[in-house]
Amino acid sequence: MNDGRYSRQELFAPIGKKGQQSIEQKHAVIIGAGALGSSMAETLVRAGVGAVSIVDRDYVEHSNLNRQQLYTELDADNSTAKAAAAEARLLDINRHADIKAVVGEVDPSLLESFLPADIIIDALDNFETRMLVNDFACRQQIPFVYGACVGSYGLTYTILPGDTPCLHCLMEDIPMDGETCDTAGIIAPAVQMVSAHQAAEALKLLSGNEKDLRRTLLSFDVWKNEHRTMNLDKLKKQDCTSCGTKADYPYLQWESRSSLETLCGRDAVQIRPAKTAEASLGRLKEQHERLVRKSNSHLLVMEWEEKRIVLFADGRAIIHGETDKAKARKIYHQIVGG
Amino acid sequence: MKLTINGEEQQIPETVESVEQLLAHFNVAHKKSVVEKNGEILTKPEQKESLLNENDRLEIVHFVGGG
């Protein structure tokens, strides 16, 4: 393509024409299409990354619109699945991009379906899935760019399997008590700051400029005016079960994952059935006609006993207005059966 | 004891002797964090063993999950 759309990026000496050609042949996988995922996807698609895959399990709500830049009021009105809304917007931005968008959960087989991949971008909102993706990236030796934010705070670290420490080296196990957007809120500048640093690292990697990678943990608070970097090389563990010499990738054992989670930023619980059986949305829509408030090809929104229940075609449900996991499970069984 | 924590001078009770105890003192021991003391990153065992001295400079960074 020669419409000059990448000319300014090519004029940037470290990228140049050669770097741009390299970028256009690369495949970036973005895990999550919330705030960070929206921003990352837009930046990489505008930059001309040849193929971009993106996965998300959620749908657009009005409370997303302060920071999730790919989405519009119409998407929120229609409860459009985020990955579907993202795909449409990304193709509006760059029709030449090869976009693969998946509405669903991240699991090892989905990650396999994205191979071969040149980089994996962390745009997740929970540690459980992050550790799974970390294991996958380590096993496949694919650079993995961690990024996270809450409130006015954010941090990012580029994991190079076999070289830098991985998330498992740094965290040892899944943190159960991190702050979330649920408790501390989130402002868009914190998102954009993390995303900007993740995107810069991605462009360095994809244009063949690995030597320019930051190689430090960067953290900041845009409200308290703080900024720091730390070199974490010393924290790499030779015996790490995710990236060490005898790695067995514990978080890729899908069965070990819980099937109930409270969701970041929500007064809600997500339920995933133990065995993945696709729900027939059509059948459930007929069955619960009086309860159905909205429906589209990806999901069904129902109201029942002051709870809002969103049921996805892959069998998952999000129960809003409920944070008690046992009660959420009961509601799920009452509505869906199983 | 006077310490500089994330760029801010703070008075810490003398009963807080190690980096691990300092994290407990701030009620952040349960969070995943990395700690640098006087420019040196500390491993988990070192956080336990590393004793605090007057005027030490500490940087504490917490991991978060949102995004």
- Distances, alpha carbon B17 to alpha carbons A57, B29, B41, in Å: 46, 15, 18
d(CA B18, CA A204): 40
pLDDT of residue A330: 77
B26, two tokens? 């701030």
Average pLDDT over residues B5-22: 95
Candidate from A126, A217, A228 with C-beta closest to B65: A126
pLDDT of residue A180: 65
Question: How long, in residues, is chain B?
Answer: 67
Average pLDDT over residues A267-296: 79
Q: What are the residue ranges spanned by the domains of chain A?
A: 7-255, 258-336
pLDDT tens-digit readout, A196-222: 999 999 999 999 999 999 999 999 999
Asked about A181 being catalytic, the answer comes back as yes
In degrees, to the nearest 5, what angle opens at C-alpha A126 toward C-alphas A159 and B30? 90
Average pLDDT over residues B25-38: 91
Q: Are A190 and A177 in contact (CB under 8 A)?
A: no
Assess whether pLDDT exceeds 50 at residue A276: no
Candidate from A194, A226, A230 with C-beta closest to B41: A230
A89-98, A142-151, A283-292, B42-51: range with lowest mean pLDDT: A283-292
Helix axes A82-93, A35-46, angle to 10 degrees: 20
What is the dotted CATH code of the domain comprising A258-336?
3.30.310.10
Q: For residue B66, which residues of chain A lie inside 8 Å, CB to CB?
A: 125, 148-150, 178-181, 186, 264-265
Q: For residue A179, which residues of chain B lie inside 8 Å, CB to CB?
A: 62, 64, 66
Q: Are A76 and A62 in contact (CB under 8 A)?
A: yes
List the one residue out of A152, B45, A83, A24 whose CA is nearest residue B19. B45
Superfamily of domain A7-255: NAD(P)-binding Rossmann-like Domain (3.40.50.720)
Q: Are B67 and A257 in contact (CB under 8 A)?
A: no
- Domains in chain B and their CATH numbers? 2-62 (3.10.20.30)
Q: Give A260's strand partners.
A: A271
Interchain pair B67, A194: CB under 8 A: yes
Candidate from B43, B61, B65 with C-beta closest to A219: B61
Distance from chain centroid for Cα A237: 26
